[in-house]
Amino acid sequence: MERSDVFHLGLTFSDLAGATLAIVPGDPQRVEKIARLMTNPVHLATHREFTTWRAELEGKSVVVCSTGIGGPSTSIAVEELSQLGIRTFLRVGTTGAIQNAINVGDVLVTTAAVRLDGASQHFAPLAFPAVADFACTTALVQAAKQRGARLHVGVTASSDTFYPGQERYDTYSGGVVRQFKGSLQEWQGMGVMNYEMESATLLTMCATQGLRAGMVAGVIVNRLQQETPDVAALQQTESDAVTIVVEASRLLFTV
Ligand SMILES: O=P(O)(O)O[C@H]1O[C@H](CO)[C@@H](O)[C@H]1O
Ligand SMILES: O=c1cc[nH]c(=O)[nH]1
């Protein structure tokens, strides 16, 4: 890193050009696609799992920065972006549904996350809810409806691991520790919509620090039907979700 005001992201204050809103996908390869949906997209930096672009929406700067997979790297991205002036975070991800009525290609907006991660406990005890910001959630819901998405709104289970924490058995060992055996069915019975891996950390960090956060995801597998995500569905699902997150950002700027 030649010059950077933060340790991991490789960004300076001036790079952000006054941006206060960041779109934060997990996958670095999603960043450019999102930035190119806005005007004047420019690549800022790529370090480790953190790829960052800046673009403009309604005349305002927006930062798009990947978090990588999971809570620890997400906590670094959120911390360093906050230090650089970001106050609103919109996560856009992929996800696995655990309800019969939620299909591949559907879009989920998360109101709160079950904290199956470790990183969020470095910010607040488990009794604190990982809750999304109301204005961010409302904007994401409105944008999803405008897009005509098959939309579901509710609670997400957010796990540190893709395999045991999401109760997958098609693994090398085929085993899942007692703590997670039967957990998918239990979350399903409580009405939890889906599994992913970053919202618990993101929502807890933001809710405890006066920051705003929201989360939208495209469904790439229904776990009641199969364990492995549907790669063929990924492109369309991702394209819907990224369009929705950009339109939600626009709504947050204009209302
Ligand atoms: O598509 P992204 O945003 O990476 O989100 C989901 O996909 C990854 C797992 O395959 C995890 O990061 C999970 O949260
Ligand atoms: O099943 C899934 C799909 C995407 N991401 C996850 O974390 N789980």
Please state the separation of Cα 55 from the chain's center in Å: 19
* Atom 7 (ligand 2) nearest CA: 196
* Domain range summary for the chain, segments of one domain joined by +: 13-254
Give the model's confidence band at 2: pLDDT under 50 very low, under 70 low, under 90 confident, else very high: low
> In the chain, at which residue ranges do the beta strands (DSSP E only) sit?
21-25, 39-47, 50-57, 60-65, 88-97, 107-116, 130-131, 151-159, 194-196, 212-222
* Atom 1 (ligand 2) nearest CA: 96
Model pLDDT for residues 191-222, shown as the tens digit of each residue? 999 999 999 999 999 999 999 999 999 999 99
Number of helices (H) and strands (E) in the chain: give both, helices first. 7, 10
Ligand 1 atom nearest to 25, measured from its CA: 3
Model pLDDT for residues 117-138, shown as the tens digit of each residue? 999 999 999 999 999 999 999 9
Please state the separation of Cα 82 from the chain's center in Å: 16
List pocket residues of ligand 2, CB cut-off 6 Å.
94-96, 162, 166, 195-197, 220-221, 229
Rounded distance between C-alpha atoms, residue 214 and residue 89, angstroms: 6
- CATH, domain range 13-254: 3.40.50.1580
Residues with a known catalytic role:
8, 80, 168, 223
Ligand 1 atom nearest to 199, measured from its CA: 14
Evaluate if pTM is beyond 0.90: yes
Model pLDDT for residues 55-79, shown as the tens digit of each residue? 999 999 999 999 999 999 999 999 9
Ligand 2 atom nearest to 96, measured from its CA: 1
Q: For strands 50-57 and 60-65, give the pairing.
A: antiparallel
Give the model's confidence band at 1: pLDDT under 50 very low, under 70 low, under 90 confident, else very high: low
User: For residue 66, which ligand has an atom nearest its CA?
Assistant: 1
Report which of 31, 212, 46, 28 is spatially closest to residue 137, judged by C-alpha positions: 212
